[in-house]
Each structure stands twice: as structure tokens, then as C-alpha cells.
Structure 1
Amino acid sequence: MYVLGIEAATPVAGVAVVEDGRILAERLVNNRRTHSVNLLPMIKAVIEEAGITARQIGAVAVSSGPGSFTGLRIGLTTAKTLAWIWQVPVVGVSTLEALALPLAPQGQIICPILNARKNEVYASVFRGSSGQAELLEGPLALGIQELVQILQQWEGQVTFLGDAVPEYKQQITDLMGDRAVFAPQSALLPRGAAVAELGYRKMAGGGGVPPLELAAEYIRLSEAEVKLAARCGK
């Protein structure tokens, strides 16, 4: 089965096609253009580069959060629309799990962090095990100091990755010292291939839902929702 993976929950736009555990084609763009501009041409390209047609896609996997509210909406809308047109299931994949997956075989504690603004990050804690990322904590929206306190319950080094690393690397190092290690640039950002691979695994396990049933995992309210709640006195 061919699975199309779409990553749009962060400033990175990533798409890929996988089949039976093989990455057939992948594209990643981090050029600060909006995902609404990047995604469809990238999707068309990876399908062609995989040597298949759109009608051969058996499922669409998409990062469903946490992440940028705008990016999530664009990614989910794109994925659900394509799945509806092609009459295939759609699979929601944790953005944080997709980040952690490439490091999972190393067996260490992995902490992907995404910039949530307001001096907070979106984070989860995973342990790599047998090529899978075992969720230990999260997903959460919290400050770095609070995150470091949570990480104290596990021994050994913690590998950080994600788009929040450049902004918070020094603070993490100051708080954790040698316990904190950071993924190289090539592994720092989310990949469409990881989303597609996780989607393939979920489909093999009986996952996947009709397009209209998939919802985003926002973790916290958007700024507009916060202001609306304040006006309503909630």
C-alpha cells in the first residue's frame, strides 16, 4: 500500500510517499513561504517521483498536532480534501512522535520541542525502543523550566530536537548541563517521510478514519479563542 505523508504543523513543509516501509520519494521545504503555496506542487512532485499515480495512494497521513494553528489547518484541510477525492482513509499522526521516530533506534530519552510562542514549547517525552518511540509524557504546552523538572524523573542524557531548539538551546544547556544533547541539523526538523511511515504503521494496525472524522490536536486554545472566552466571561 502506498501512503502519502504530509507535514505542515511547523514552519517546515514536508511530503513523502512510502510503500511497505520504503521511502519512494520525499521533499522538504523550509523557505518561509506559506504552506498553501508549497504543499500541492510538492505533493504532485513526490507522487510523480515515486513512479505512481494519485489513484494508487491507499491512505493519506498528516501531522495532526500539536503545532502552528495555521499550519495545522492547511495541512489537515489538504490531507482531508485529497483523501475525500481519492476515497481513501486519512491518518492523524502526532507531530512530536514524527520528530522522535528517526532517533528511536538509539534507545535514549528523546524530547521533541516545538515553538508554542508565549515563552512556551509543545513537548513530549519518548524513549526509543525497537525502532519505535514509546511515549512517556505529553503532549504538553509548558515553559522550559517546567519541562526540565519533568525530565528529572529519567536518568541519562536527553536528546532535544524540533524547531524550538535554536531559541531555547542555551537555556536548556544552562539548566541541564551535559545531560542535554541536541540532534544534528539534518534530524532537527520534522519530515514527511516520518509522518508517512507512522501512517503506514497505523494503517497496518487497522487505523485510519474517513476524512471528516479527523480533528487537530491543538493542546491549547488559539489566541482568538482565548480572547473570545475572555469576552464571554469564561
Structure 2
Amino acid sequence: MKILGIESASLVASVAVVTDGLVTAEYTVDFKKTHSQTLLPMIDEVTRMLELDLHEVDAIAVSGGPGSYTGLRIGSATAKGLGLALEKPLIHVPTMDAMAYNLYGTSALICPVMDARRGQVYTGLYHYEETFEVVKPQCGMDIHELIKELNERGERVIFLGDGVPVNEKIIREEMTVPFSFAPAQTNRQRGASVAALGSVYFAEGKTVSAMDHAPDYLRKAQAERELEEAKRQGKTDELAAGHSVGTGDAQ
């Protein structure tokens, strides 16, 4: 079984191929370039190095959100385009699930956090000591409320994700249970984890057609939220002059 994994939910761009339980290639970049510049060249490089014809893959796993609106749209469009061209199914892998999948073998509660701005984070809670368990499905919530819930659970916690640097001071001040931060090799999104978890979902029959795949943003784009607020305040003309709906890219 060969699964191509695509990760574009944040600043990280990552593609990987998992072949029969082995990561045969992974290409990850965490730098200030748009995913429209990076994903297709990265896929091309990986397949060239593996001498892999993309028609040989069984399915394409894509990080399905939440995260950057632009990043998710580009990742989804890339996966859908490949799926349609190759006539391959897609596997929707929730972004938080894939991040937690980085940390096999820990007895701690795994807590990925992505910065959603304005004191909000995207998160979820997981166990992965022997089997992968979703304790709390991915969601958006206030960082203080998340820490309160973690303290009430009373378990040791491992944090990972781009929400850690943004909220580290709050975490250190408010956490009352033992906690730690994941090391560099596991603290961001990885295409290998998307592909590996995608392999599990593929074996379980959890696939969708390329036409039916859509990212899970969990909340509306910033421009849409601002427009709704402006409508409530009767300022739609003023807002429309500033930008159009759907162009915002919030995390």
C-alpha cells in the first residue's frame, strides 16, 4: 500500500509517501513561502527521488483542517487535482489528529495547539501509548479554558504546535499539572504523520472522492466574521470598501 500525504494547514509545507508501513520519503519546509510555490515542486521531487509513478499510489491523504484558510485551500486543491487526474480516492485526516500522531508511545495526554489568534487556539486531546485514541475531538477554544480543562483532568500533558510559542507564558503561569513541550522533530505538522494515519483510515475504508473532499475550517474566515459584525452594526458599505468576503486567511 502506498499513500501520498499532503500537509499545508500552517506555515509548514510537507509531503510524504508511506509504503507498507514505512516512510519512504518526506519533504518538509517551515519557511515563509506560499504553499502554491512549494507543494507541487516538493511532490515532484519526492516522486522523482523514489522513481515513483503517482499512478502507483493507492490514495492521497490530505490534512483537512483546521488551520490557515489559504493553506488548507491550496492543499485541498492540490489533493483534489491529483485525485481527479489519477482517479484515486482522498483521505481526509483532521489536522489535530495528524499532529498528535507524531507522539507514539507517550503515557501523557497529547495536546496539539495551533494559534487561532485573539487568545483562541485550535486543539484536541489524545492518548497514544499503545493505540491512538481521540479523547477530545478537534475544536477551537480559548487558551485559558483549555488550560482549565487540562488542570481538571489531572494528567501529565505534552504540548506541540505553533500555538506553543504564542501561548507559552500563559501555559507556564496557569498549568498546575505536570507538562512538557514536544521536541523539534515532533512539534510541528508532518506529511509523514498525515500519510501514516491516512494509511490506517484507508484500511478502514475511510476515503472520499476527490470531488467530495472539502477542508474543515471549524470557523468562518476573518473577512466573513467582520462582515457579519458590520451587518449587525450597519457598516456593510464601509467594510466592503476595505475587502471582499473570503479573502481573509485566519488561523
- TM-score w.r.t. length of structure 1: 0.95
Q: Is the 8 A contact 1:172 1:180 kept in 2?
A: no
Q: Matched residues in 2 for 1:140 and 1:153: separation?
A: 18
Deviations for 1:109-153, whole angstroms, at most 9, x for unmatched residues? 000000111221101011124142x11113221221110111123
Does residue 1:104 correspond to 2:104, yes or no? yes
Partner of 1:117: 117
Q: Matched residues in 1 for 2:97 and 2:77: separation?
A: 21
- Which stretches in structure 2 are left out of the alignment for 5+ residues? 234-251
Q: Matched residues in 2 for 1:190 and 1:131: separation?
A: 20
Q: Is the 8 A contact 2:151 2:177 kept in 1?
A: no
1:1-234 to 2 correspondence within 5 Å?
1-132=1-132, 134-177=133-176, 179-233=178-232
Deviations for 1:65-96, whole angstroms, at most 9, x for unmatched residues? 11111111011111111111000000110111
Q: Matched residues in 2 for 1:12 and 1:233: separation?
A: 36
Q: Is the 8 A contact 2:61 2:194 kept in 1?
A: yes
Q: Matched residues in 2 for 1:198 and 1:49: separation?
A: 23
Q: Matched residues in 2 for 1:38 and 1:232: separation?
A: 38
Q: Matched residues in 2 for 1:195 and 1:131: separation?
A: 16
Q: Aligned partner of 1:41: which letter?
A: P
Q: Matched residues in 1 for 2:131 and 2:6: separation?
A: 21
Which structure would you say has the larger Rg?
Answer: 2
Q: Matched residues in 2 for 1:232 and 1:92: separation?
A: 34
Deviations for 1:34-86, whole angstroms, at most 9, x for unmatched residues? 00001000011111223321111111100001111111101111111111100
> Aligned pair count?
233
Q: Is the 8 A contact 2:155 2:177 kept in 1?
A: no
The percentage of aligned residue pairs carrying the same residue is 39
Kindly report structure 1 stretches of 4+ aligned residues shifted beyond 3 Å.
230-234
